[in-house]
């Protein structure tokens, strides 16, 4: 997810493009995509889910963490 104020940093566009290029979905997350998981985890239906790491990253970590191109 991107926030509006991040655009004030020099070179951030290149960093974001590098991250997106390594994300299988090829875009950044929308807040509703993250919040829907958080909402589910607050429901009684998820009460048996314990000790999990749930990546909401569009597949970014599927190949491990790699450096973004310079």
- What confidence tens digit (pLDDT) does each residue in 24-61 have? 999 999 999 999 999 999 999 999 999 999 999 999 99
| Choice between 7 and 70, residue whose per-residue pLDDT is larger | 7
* Residue 29: exposure state from Cβ atoms within 10 A (0-12, 13-18, ≥19): middle
Q: Record the pTM.
A: 0.67
69 domain residue, yes or no: no
The residue segments making up the domain with residue 14 are: 1-41+49-62
- The structural domain count of the chain equals 1
| Cα 15–chain centre separation | 14
The angle formed by the CA atoms of residues 22, 24 and 26, to the nearest 5 degrees, is 80
Question: Tell me, what's the pLDDT at 63?
Answer: 79
Residue 67 domain flag: no
Residue 17 lies in a domain: yes
**What is residue 4's predicted lDDT score, i.e. its pLDDT?**
65
Does residue 5 lie in a domain region?
Answer: yes
């Amino acid at each position: 997810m991107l926030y509006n104020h991040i655009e004030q940093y020099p070179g951030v566009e290149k960093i974001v493009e590098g991250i997106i290029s390594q994300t299988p979905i090829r875009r950044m997350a929308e807040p509703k995509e993250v919040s829907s998981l958080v909402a589910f985890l607050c429901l009684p239906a998820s009460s048996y889910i314990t000790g999990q790491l749930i990546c909401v990253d569009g597949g970014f970590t599927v190949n491990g963490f790699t450096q973004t191109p310079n």
